[in-house]
Structures are given as C-alpha cells and as structure tokens.
Amino acid sequence: MNQQTRPLVIRNGRVIDPSQGLDSVADVVLVEGAVGGIEARGTTQLFDGWAEFDASGMIVAPGFIDLHTHLRTPGQEWKEDPKTASDAAVRGGFTTICVMPNTYPAQDNASVVGELMLRCVSESAVRVRPIGAITKGRKGGELAPMHELADASAVGFSDDGDPVMSPHLMRQALTYSTDLDLPIINHAEDRGLVAEWDMNEGVVASHLGLRGIPNSAESMMIARDIELARITNGRLHIPHVSTAESVELIRIAKFESIKVTAEVTPHHLALTERWVYGENGNVPPFLTENAYYTQAKMAPPLRTEDDRMALVEGLADGTIDAVGTDHAPHAETDKVCTFTEAANGIIGLETALPLTLGIAGIDIKLVIERLTAGPSAILHDAGIGTLRSGAKADVVVIDPYAEWRVDRATLGSKSSNTPMIDSKVTGRVVATFVGGVKVWDANEGEGNNV
C-alpha cells in the first residue's frame, strides 16, 4: 500500500466540526484521501498498514480555507511562490487557499490561470483556487472574459488592491455573477474621496503627521456595491471589512436578503491603529524611534478600537461570514523605508489562529466556523471545510493553549513582514493533513507522510 494514501486514524481529540454542529471527543478516520467517518473515542479498529495520530488534549477540525491569499506568482516570486505560500499555509492550518489576481501578468485570462495552476500542482501541498480579475489588466476599463476564467476554474473575481471605480462596470460584473454563480469581490475604497493616504484618519495620524483615510471611503463603496447587488441580484463578497459603518451596512443588506457575504482579517480583529506607534499597541508618552512602524501599514488600514469591537461583534452575530488572512508577502526593502513609501500589507497565514484566538480572544468554535464552514459556503464547495463522511481528508490539529514565539527563522513564508515578529502568542497548529497526508507536524518541524 502506498504510504501516502494508507488509512489514518486521528485519535482522542476534541472534534469540532461546525458544518455538522459537532463538538465531542472522538476518532476521525481518513481513508483514500477522504473522511471515512467519525467514531466514538477508542472504538476504531486499526488494521494492518493503518497509521494513527494521537490528538489527546488537542482540537481536531476541518482544514482551514483562506479566501484571500496573495501568492505573488507569477511576477514577484522573490516575495512568495507556490511552495513557500504552501509552507506558510500548512503551518497555519490552511489546506485550501484562494489566490488573488494582482500578479504580473494579472490573472485575467485562462492562459495565465492555467499556467499558475499547473505550477501549483507540482509545488504546492495545499489546494489552490484561483480568483480571476474583474477587469482586463485590473485597470478598471473593460471586463475580463469572466466565462473563460470560470471555465479555467476561477472561484470568484476581484481586482484586489484596486477598486472597480466605475459603477457601470461593477453592475455589469454583478450581472455576470448571476449566470456564473460566482462572487464579485471588490476592494472597498472610494478613491474619489481620498486618492493618497498613509493610515487611518484620526488621532494617531494627526500625532504622527501622516495622511489619513476616513472610514467613509470604505463604507461609501460598500453602500454603492450593495445597491448594485440589489438591482442585479448578483453575488457580492466584501473583502477585509475594517469599519463599524461597513459592518452595519452589511448587516442591513443581509436582513433585506441581498446576496452579500463578507470577510474580516485576523489583524483587523486583533490590532488597532495604535500599532503604528511601534509599541505593540501601546500609546507611548513620547515618540520613540519605533514610531512610524511600517509593519503596521496595510490597506485597508488598522482602525480604532471601536471599529475593532464592531468587527468582533459582526463576526459573532453572523454579519461577517469568514476570516480571510489577506496574506500579503513583501520583500524587506518594501518595508525598510519611510512610512509613506512602504508597501501595504502583512503576511497572515501562519498567525491567523493566534491573532483571532489568542489576541482577539474569540471563542475557538466561532474561529473554526469562520475558517471552515463559512468560507466553504461562500465557495459553494461542500467537499472542503467539513469532516462529513466522503469529504476531502483535510484536517487540522490545534493546541489552543500552546504559547509560541513568532520567529522569523522558522516562518514558512519567503517574507516576514508582520508586526508579530518576536511576539509570544497563544494558539498553535500542531499538525495539518491534506488529502489524508500529513504535510505539517510542529513537533517535527516539517511535513512527513504518515
């Protein structure tokens, strides 16, 4: 029997599967790349050639799904590539990643998407799902061939990083989404209000003399897109929600049965604009050399504590459907510069769990639901994000109480642009399985087939 596909029993773990409303100590059986079943603890018989993994004291859950990963391939492989993104993903418990189209060239045609998927098959240990561009070249002038991209396996459409400013084009895209049944994912930023900015508009920006962007730049775009989704009956997905006003708009839209879903990043759930001071979220009595901390620069920017709490509430009450990392690798030179010159974005695959669970303090069952069943529903893929019998054997084993240090030297990603470097965090992925194969074991430091 092939070692990579031999049956496996993950024993004695607390199995949490929100897709089934399951939370009990049990054994999970994986056979031929699929979930064979969940059985009472200690009752599963081991046959010749079977393997086992002891998850005593741990949580066993479906593999995580990230709706928002920047692969940087093709075109910027010095920042990330399919292998290193995969290495980062498995360390964070992600078994499926949806990759954004802001590549060079953009993922705006079947040829680019096809070549990328071929490369991922040979280099990535996780499942990769491409997101096609909304417009050609992501330039906002003409729709990309959306049917062609859908046929090439695109699971949604986005010009991520660049909003579709034209309401006419956005309406067209949402109209196409009704036929394709795939979400339109628009970067929510009205650049007609503020063209250039550095961070959130507010007290911290004023103290540091940086250009601010108001909450309304996001909420105005979301309000427009919700209205276009209403009149087209199209599928709108709102990425990286960051403001209290945005949460309320989405909440109302869902009440009115508009087809809108939303995601929030771990860093917007856990951190605020105060991290730009460079003192781990503390406000210093006077500015130090740590201020203007470029690792805390991102788009949308980190907001206020009130915004952060509104995001947590929106996640808890179902207004926000998923946690998406917005994993955005950058070279060191992209951050070792002035704040204004620094690139937006931080890596997030490896720290998603400790940020949401440890720092934001969100209940583990809710975290798992928004990393599994939530994104699975958005993708309309019942084969992932669940431990139902017959589903793909993608599983994560978690120690929710483990403390560990975010060490630059042990990151799977090619990049290390995160404010969490050298921080001690709580909540760790112990092991990750994709298709029944162990691709990450924290105790061994690397993936080893069982």
CB atoms within 10 A of CB 157: 32
Q: Which residue out of 307, 326, 334, 441 is catalytically annotated?
A: 326
- What's the CA gap between 136 and 174, in Å, rounded? 16
- What's the CA gap between 98 and 167, in Å, rounded? 26
- What's the CA gap between 188 and 165, in Å, rounded? 10
Cα–chain center distance at 343: 19
Q: At a CB cut-off of 8 Å and minimum separation 6, what does 138 contact?
A: 101, 102, 106, 108, 159, 161, 162
Please report which helix (H) or strand (E) contains residue 10, including its range.
strand 8-17
Is 422 part of the annotated catalytic residue set?
Answer: no
Question: Is the distance from CB of 356 to CB of 270 less than 8 angstroms?
Answer: yes
- What's the CA gap between 156 and 54, in Å, rounded? 38
Question: Is the distance from CB of 329 to CB of 414 less than 8 angstroms?
Answer: yes
Q: Cα angle at 112 between 108 and 118, to 5 degrees?
A: 140
Residue 366 Cα distances to 16, 207, 330, 358, angstroms: 10, 36, 30, 13
| Residues noted as catalytic | 326
